[in-house]
Structure formats: structure tokens, C-alpha cells
Amino acid sequence: MARAGQLLTTSRKAAGLAVALTIAACARSSPPLPPDLGHLPPEQRLLQGDAESPEAKLGCPQLKEESERIRMAVSQNEATIAGNRGHNQAVGYAGGVLFAPLLLASRNDDDAKKSLDELQTKKDRVDRLSKAKGC
Amino acid sequence: MSAIALLGGCADGWATTQVSPQAAAAGRQATPVDQIRVIEGDVTDRPYKSLGEVSATVNKVTIFNADPTRELVDKRLKIEAARLGADAVIQVRYGTVGISAFSWGSLDGKGRAIAYDKP
């Protein structure tokens, strides 16, 4: 009897943890803002490391292409995440109402989210370089 | 059930906002919200002062409501920037819609409120 009680407590803790992990993992927060460089002239609004980055060697047409590549990659990642929204909502509802372990079946899209954050950093850098070069 | 239906009728869902004003924002008059521009990049064609960071999170009320959109986040960002007396919100970026601790669908965004230097 005591063992059954222990098992129940453990499974409740596990389910609670799964709920917490799933819920915490689902929404992606917006990436942090870059430092405020507004007090500098546009051609000097670069961060440490921008001038040594591979993008710094690109001319204006290539920076424009790079910017377009980033935009397309962002769209692809967002589409991946959006494509899993219905599934995650169904799993979240069923897990919350019927059977908590179902929440483990949610798709967190961690790779796509990480990639979006990296792409934002790259986009910011390409924007800074484009504007510093007067593109 | 009727409470859910009532809440479900709120088109914009519920939202939270956060503002971190800088010294430059002190004493400025509020700007009309419809005059605030939301820009994803930086502004380089005219000088400006940063007034502070603004952020907003829009949430859907029930699982049956539509997901929050970037337009709804922009609307909230504009309201907060207007209070600071800003002309625009720059460097705007967004999260992605997902389940959060208190919502079936949550989307956040942030940006930097700025005021153009007067000639």
C-alpha cells in the first residue's frame, strides 16, 4: 500500500515536471535588442567583431543577397514551428485534460528556435554593415 | 462556459507590456499612437535619441481563439512608445507563437522607442 502511494507520488512529480518542461519550452521569446548605437554616426554603428566577421568582406550586392538568404531561412524556420502548432495545441489540450504524459509528445522545435535566434544576430550584423557601408 | 465564451469574444486577447525608460524620456509629452512607426531595423537617415526599451506579450484567451499576430504586438508596442513621447520603435523583433505558462498561444515582441532630434 505504502509502495503504491510512493509510486503515485513519483508519477505525479514526473507528470508535473513534464508539464513544466513542456510549457516552458513551447513559446520562444523575442531575441534581445542589440546595443544602442544611435548616438554614433551611421558609418560607425558597428559592434566589436563586426569588422572581422565574414560578412564584413562582402560588398553591397552580396550583403543584399545575404539579407535575402537570411529572410528566407527565417521564413522556413517559422513555417516549421507554425506547422507544429496544431499538433502541440491538441497534445497540450489532451495532456492537460486527459492524460498528462501525452504532453511529452509535443514538438518543441528547439533547432528551429535556436536557428531563428542565430539568424536574428546575423541579420542585425548584416544590417549594421550595410548601413555603415552606405548600401 | 459562458465566462469562456465571453473572454473568447475579446478580439485582441490579453496582453502584458514592459517599458524601461531612459533619462531622455523624462518630461516628454505623449505622442498620438497612430503617429508611431514600427521599424524592424535601425534608422540612419536622421539623428535620434533613444527613450528606452519597450516590450509586449499578446496572449490568446482560450484554445479556440486565433493565434496572436505581430500586428497585435505592434499595436501594444506603439501604445507604450506613445506614452514615452516616441516617434518610432526601431530594431523590433518578435518571438514565435507557442504555449506559455498562462496562455494557449503567446507572442512577444520588443523594440527601442526613439524620438527624432528636432532640426
**Taking the CB of residue B119, how many other CB atoms lie within 10 A of it?**
5
Residue pairs spanning A and B at CB distance below 8 A:
83
Residue among B42, B63, B100 whose CB faces A27 most closely: B100
- CB atoms A113 and B100 under 8 Å: no
Instruction: Using an 8 Å CB-CB cutoff, list chain B residues near A93.
Output: 63
For residue A7, pLDDT over 70 is answered with: no
Q: What's the pLDDT band for A2 if we cut at 50, 70, 90?
A: low
User: What does the pLDDT look like over B13-48, one tens digit per residue?
Assistant: 788 888 888 877 788 899 999 999 999 999 999 999
B54 secondary structure, DSSP code: E
Longest dimension (CA), chain B: 57
Residue A13: which pLDDT band, with cuts at 50, 70 and 90?
A: low
Those residues whose C-beta lies under 8 Å from the C-beta of residue B119, and which sit 6 or more positions away, are none
Q: Across the interface, which of B50, B93, B100 has its CB nearest the CB of A23? A: B100
Q: Which helix (H) or strand (E) holds B94?
A: strand B88-94
**In total, how many domains does chain B have?**
1
pLDDT recorded at residue B23: 77
What ipTM was assigned to the predicted interfaces of this complex?
0.81
A126: confidence class by pLDDT, cuts 50, 70, 90: very high
CATH value at residue B30: 3.30.110.70
The shortest CB-CB distance from B42 to any of A24, A82, A131 is to A131
Q: Residues near B66 by Cβ (< 8 Å), separated by ≥ 6?
A: B60
Looking at per-residue pLDDT, the higher value among A27 and B91 belongs to B91
Dihedral angle of Cα A80, A83, A85, A91, to the nearest 10 degrees: -110
Sequence letter at residue A126 = V
The number of beta carbons lying within 10 Å of the beta carbon of residue B27 is: 7
Per the model's pLDDT, the better-predicted residue between B74 and B61 turns out to be B74
- What is the extent of the structural domain holding B51? 2-116
pLDDT beyond 70 at A21: no
pLDDT category, A17, cuts 50, 70, 90? Answer: very low
pLDDT at residue A25 greater than cutoff 50:
no
Reported confidence tier of residue A59, pLDDT bands at 50, 70, 90: very high
pLDDT at A1: 54
Burial of B114 (0-12, 13-18, 19+ CB in 10 A): buried
The amino acid present at B59, given as its one-letter code, is N
Q: Which residue has the higher pLDDT, A15 or B109?
A: B109
**Amino acid B35: pLDDT:** 95
User: What pLDDT, on the 0 to 100 scale, is given for residue B20?
Assistant: 85
Q: Is the pLDDT of residue A131 over 80?
A: yes
Q: Is the pLDDT of residue A107 over 80?
A: no
pLDDT of B1 higher than 60? no
CA distance A14 to chain B (A): 17
Q: What is residue A35's DSSP assignment?
A: P
